[in-house]
Each structure stands twice: as structure tokens, then as C-alpha cells.
Structure 1
Amino acid sequence: MERKNLAALDELDFAILSCLQEDGRMSFTVMAETLKVSIGTIRTRCNKLIEDGTVNIIGRVNPDKVGFNSYAQIAVFVRPATLIDKVARKISTMPEVSFLAGTSGDHDLEVDVMCRNNEHLVDFINRISKLAGVNQTKTTLYFKVYKYAQPELGLLKY
């Protein structure tokens, strides 16, 4: 995935993104009033941010409320290392995966998953353990999630 050049976003773009993070259903009218610009400006900017892939408007589900009660982080060790990308691509297609990254240090991939229960989690771990190149996995079960959020855009300098 290609990263958008941060310099291409201005203060208004970040303000719009912050509004959408607060309420993804916020109307253009409310945003325009809040940010003291015209509705047309908001509409144009929002459409640009959607078209260029900066933002996707989605419904974010609370996993606990819909029956996902088993969260875990799985460290994946891949051998030989030349298979890391292939293994990552396969894991990325699995619906339980909420986060996947290549890492430095002891393991090669970090996978965060949300499963219905521990039996579902064990099944998931068995599936990735059988992938060609997966040498070992190490699972850390999350007992309680205290914060689940996106980064605060206000921390960025424009």
C-alpha cells in the first residue's frame, strides 16, 4: 500500500478527518458549521479524501457486542525468511485478522486476531501453523481490552 504524502494534506483536511473520527456519520452541514467553511468545500474535500484512499467511511463494530470474546496477539516465526511476504499475504486474507505487520526482533510477523471464543482461536492458530513457511507461533491472549482506537490526528503537526 502506497502512503500518501503528509504534505499533501492541509489543516482543513486534518480537521475534517478529526470530525469523521468523532462521528463517521457527521453531516457536511454540521462539519461546515463547526469548521466555518462552506458545505461545498466540505463535500469536495471529503470526496477527495475518500477517492484518494485517505479515509474509508465504515461502521466500526464493538467486537464484544457482536460475540467476539477472544482476542490475541500471535507472534509468527517464518523459515526460510524468503517466505515472510507469502505467509503474510495468506494470513491477511483470514477474516479473524484485525492487524498484521512485519516486525523486527525475535519473530517475523505480528498478528492480532478477534475470535468468537477460545475454541475458535485454537482453530485459527492451527490454520496458520499449517501454512508453508510457518515454523512456530507464540500466542498472547488479551484478557481485557482497555482501549481500542485509531491514532489521534491532533498529535500530528500540519
Structure 2
Amino acid sequence: MITALVHRIRTQCGAELHAFRSQVQALVSQDIGSGGLDAAATTMARRPCLATPGVSVDIVGFTCPHYADGAPAVRVAVSMSLQPGRMASAVHWEEAHAWAGAVAGGEWVAAEYVGSQESQDGMVFHYALKNAEDPYAVPEYSAVPEYSADYSTAL
């Protein structure tokens, strides 16, 4: 299902994904860490969820200092928000993985899942964008709480 969703997202949102990747790439060229910016972020316009009606998807790309060589880490957060009255148990949460996979492209060969957390109206999933030469392991996201009983079986 995820591979089919990635393909569908890239087909329907190709131009928007390209623009978003360009914005994230521009963040990478900023002076992040060691006397520069602490972090930088950009967002993609809110989109409706493709697999579950009544859910919207927000994507934020950001950079922060991470690597010993000074190269910034590139992260993506995919937020899935439920409209009032929508049941969390009926949401296809794996669509977040598809959106992150669709964002990975160009310089980034993969979006590695780092963790997730509940938000006020849904879930936020965190990913590290990895390029082909990236030898670094991705550390676990430090702010990830345990899943609640409502979401533990969602993935």
C-alpha cells in the first residue's frame, strides 16, 4: 500500500514536491549550528489525506545541527490531523510514511522513520532524509512519547 501511495502522491503532487524539495535544499545551504542559525524550516501546503477522508496532511521540512562534520541533519515532520468526529481507529496512519517517501527524491534517497507523537488532533511522524553518501545512523527522536492505547495498533 505504501509504494502505491508514494507513486500516487508523486503523480498528483509532483510539482509541489519538487518546489518543497528545493525549499528544503535551500535550508541546507544556510549556516546551521556553530555560530549560525540554530535551525531552519519550511512547509508544504496542507493537503487532504489520500487514503482516509476527513484527515489532512501537513509537511514541515527542517534542518538542525547534527553531524560531527558540521553538515546539517535534514528532517521532515508529517502531521496527520483528524477533522472533528473522525475516529482515529479508522485512519490509515501509514500514509505518513508514503508522504515522507514521496518527499525523498533528488538528493535524498530515503526518508528514515525516526519516531512519532500524538498531537492535539492526530499524530506527527518524524523522518530523517538520507542521501546516498550518508554514513551516519539516525538517532532516535528524543521527544517521542509512548503510543497511547488509541494509536498503538494504528501502525
Q: TM-score range by the shorter chain?
A: under 0.3
**Larger strand fraction of residues:** 2
TM (norm. structure 1) is: 0.23
Please give the TM-score of this superposition, normalised by the length of structure 2.
Answer: 0.23
Structure of greater relative contact order (alpha carbons < 8 Å, 6+ residues apart): 1
* Greater Cα radius of gyration, structure 1 or 2: 1
Higher percent of residues as helix: 1
